[in-house]
Structure 1
């Protein structure tokens, strides 16, 4: 994680795997929370990964647990940028890859060109 200046926080392992396939950006560290965290666990994440010193992006699902996690993360990481998927997809892992690629690219992350072909 030494070379990565950006941290992308996602909920699940499937989200992390899909996004990792799409990104063409070695400057991004994908941090998986494995679902909803408590305040104490979020504070540990902030400390363990030096999140105040990095560009942080929050990319959670649009369902209730995802929104709850986003709210908690935003309280701890007021400098974080939020990335959203369209509510019709509900979950990052169910969002078409070309939509994820476009969304990540809009957040200034490099994506593999082949994932933009559906646009």
Structure 2
């Protein structure tokens, strides 16, 4: 098995163990959401030398870590797991450490880079009209849309930003939205 070129940023040692079960790769552990300056420097160096894939848990602390790293170390790729792929059999907790090796490999294969200052392709109004920002089904729709588009779960405000950052085109968005609506 060939070693993954990029270095994967994860939250802790259990995540590293899960990555190692799935493939041959190097990791940097943040050890929680209070990321030290030395860890940021390590990630910055890894990005310059080999590239970085941020692979955090699909929960609030994981998103906070992802956002912090993306702000301080631009150009990283992002890998996402759907919440159902990151739950243990006991259904207690959520995280990369609970994912099956196939799910980890798939998420890393589909990792992509966020772009800065990109034109608005899908408007906030379109998200409102699609029932993705407000309404009884909005949260579930956003969660499923994030899975289909491989951009992770977001709240209503983050969805617009993430669609722009990952340059999701209208056709791809519409196709995923139709699938979400058909599943209801």
Report the TM-score when normalising by structure 2: 0.48
Which whole-Å deviations, capped at 9, do the CAs of 1:82-119 have from their partners, x for residues lacking one? 00000233411122222112222334xxxxxxxxxxxx
CA contact (8 A) 2:17 2:97 kept: no
Give the aligned length: 102
Question: How much does 1:5 deviate?
Answer: 4.5
More strand by share: 1
Distance 1:38 1:106, change over 3 A: closer
Note if 1:86 corresponds to 2:90. Answer: no
Higher RCO by CA contacts (8 Å cutoff, separation 6 or greater): 1
Note if 1:44 corresponds to 2:48. Answer: no
Note if 1:32 corresponds to 2:36. Answer: no
Unaligned segments of structure 2, at least 5 residues: 87-93, 112-184
Which whole-Å deviations, capped at 9, do the CAs of 1:35-71 have from their partners, x for residues lacking one? 1134634433245x44333211000001111110000
Moved over 4 A (4+): none
Distance 1:21 1:63, change over 3 A: same
Backbone CA RMSD of aligned residues: 2.5
Report the TM-score when normalising by structure 1: 0.70
Distance 1:77 1:22, change over 3 A: same
Bigger radius of gyration: 2
Distance 1:53 1:18, change over 3 A: same
Note if 1:102 corresponds to 2:98. Answer: no
Which whole-Å deviations, capped at 9, do the CAs of 1:8-47 have from their partners, x for residues lacking one? 10001111011112114xxx42111111134634433245
More helix by share: 2
